[in-house]
Amino acid sequence: MANEIQLISDGDGLAVIGNPTAVESFLDSVGLLSLSKDLRFDRLGSILEAGAGIAQAASDIGANSGRYVKLTKESAQLVKEFGLMKTKTRGVSHAMLGDPGSISKWLQIENGPGSLLTNPALLSGAAGIMAQLAKQHEANELKDLLTKIDEKLDDVRRAQRDSVLAKMDSVALAIEEAMTIREYGGNREVGWGKVQSTSVTIAEVQASALRALEALADKVDSKCKVGGIAKAVKEIEQEVGLWIAVLARCFQLQDEIAVLELDQVFDTAPADLDGHRLALSVAKQKRRELVVGKTKYLMGRMDEAAGVADSNVLLHAWAARSVVDSINSAAVIVDNFHAPLGIESDRDSLEATRWRDAARNPKQLKNAGAEAGRKALTGVAIAATAAAAVAVSAGVAKNATERSE
């Protein structure tokens, strides 16, 4: 049927395949048409050459078009309504929908002869292309993030960042050249040869950035006085953008290498495509977990410090407010980096206690009284010391006068 479509999801994205008019109609009906991209079936040549049913698969491709959408939390929930079912292709689910006709909702139908489920090689190839599109989408979002971070870095930290990223300049140039070869339909094997040994350099820079984030976290000492906490947190706010920028660049380059790597598997070992696609996904998830571990540790230490500062508002209102503002600013940078990686924020923005509210808070009054008492005792001690020094000086002068007489 001309108005049958097929949905494929790998958890990160959704492919809609079928008659071009039906595909666009469906995407428009769910509000995703403007966010969709062409799913290039011409990339499946090597898959079809390696698989059975070549003539039928080629016919299926020729009659259909496909579009791809990167799923958000909201659109993923919407897709669930269409009842996609797991397939034998690992990590991939599928459904066929029929023409809504006079009703407003597309309905799930039985898988017919044209279903991709009847051609596992084609389904596997489509999943591989979806993985590439997801990585390209993420790489583009990370590029946008890098531009925004660059605007906020001061000259000193921009120079620091550039010094670190310079270690990957040759890598970045090689990847850019390989991606250009790919874009213009050049020899993908030659392109892969330019980048296949670059992953180690990126991993080394990434490891250094993660260690730097941990070192920033260790600068925060909640046992310090509020003024010291404010100073440390302000320095971290200025530094965190530098190291997040380095990490974002690493993830961007790793995404682009993964696209080229999947091309190589497409061309040289299509039977291994599913396993390789999943392996790349697992490796990336491990990198995400490393990042989340370091950023959570950093924000946790900063939140502890914020608690100390915010419990001493009566005598340190300005410093307490500065601490909260700096931490919120750092959190925005971290969250903006997490977003393209599919990591959801699990913390709320901090709010500083107002002075008049602190004045009615028993704990705030107690903390202020204790600190004021310490300062008063210190003042008494200083005064007593000064008085003693004056007395001693007077005594020395008197003795000298008596001797001279």
Handedness of CA 64, 69, 70, 76 (dihedral sign): negative
Distances (CA, A) of 69 to 33, 62, 348: 8, 21, 29
pLDDT of 305 strictly over 80: yes
Counting every residue written for the chain, the total comes to 405
Cβ neighbour number for residue 30 with a 10 Å cutoff: 17
Give the per-residue pLDDT at 118: 60
Q: What is the pLDDT of residues 188-214, one digit of tens each?
A: 999 999 999 999 999 999 999 999 999
Q: Place 84 in a pLDDT band, splitting at 50, 70 and 90.
A: confident
What letter represents residue 165's amino acid? L
Let me know: does 152 contact 241? Beta carbons within 8 Å.
yes
Give the per-residue pLDDT at 59: 52
Q: Place 114 in a pLDDT band, splitting at 50, 70 and 90.
A: low
pLDDT of 376 strictly over 90: no
DSSP secondary structure letter of residue 117: G
User: Which residue's entry shows tokens 């599919």?
Assistant: 342
Task: Specify the range with the lowest mean pLDDT, choosing from 44-53, 242-251, 318-327.
Answer: 44-53
Q: Place 285 in a pLDDT band, splitting at 50, 70 and 90.
A: very high
pLDDT of 378 strictly over 70: no
Q: Write down the pTM of the prediction.
A: 0.82
Let me know: does 109 contact 83? Beta carbons within 8 Å.
no
DSSP secondary structure letter of residue 166: G
> What pairs with residue 65 in β-bridges?
18
Give the E-state strand segments of 24-171 in sequence order: 37-38, 65-70, 85-86, 93-98, 107-108
User: What value does the mean pLDDT of the chain take?
Assistant: 82
Q: Place 299 in a pLDDT band, splitting at 50, 70 and 90.
A: very high
Average pLDDT value for residue range 42-62: 52
Residues 6+ apart with CB under 8 A from 361: 353
Q: What is the pLDDT of residues 216-246, one digit of tens each?
A: 998 887 667 888 888 899 999 989 999 999 9
pLDDT of 333 strictly over 70: yes
pLDDT of 390 strictly over 70: no
For the chain, domain boundaries: 5-123, 153-353, 361-404
Q: Place 381 in a pLDDT band, splitting at 50, 70 and 90.
A: very low
Q: What's the rounded Cα separation, in Å, for the pair 119 and 61?
A: 11
Let me know: does 326 contact 234? Beta carbons within 8 Å.
yes
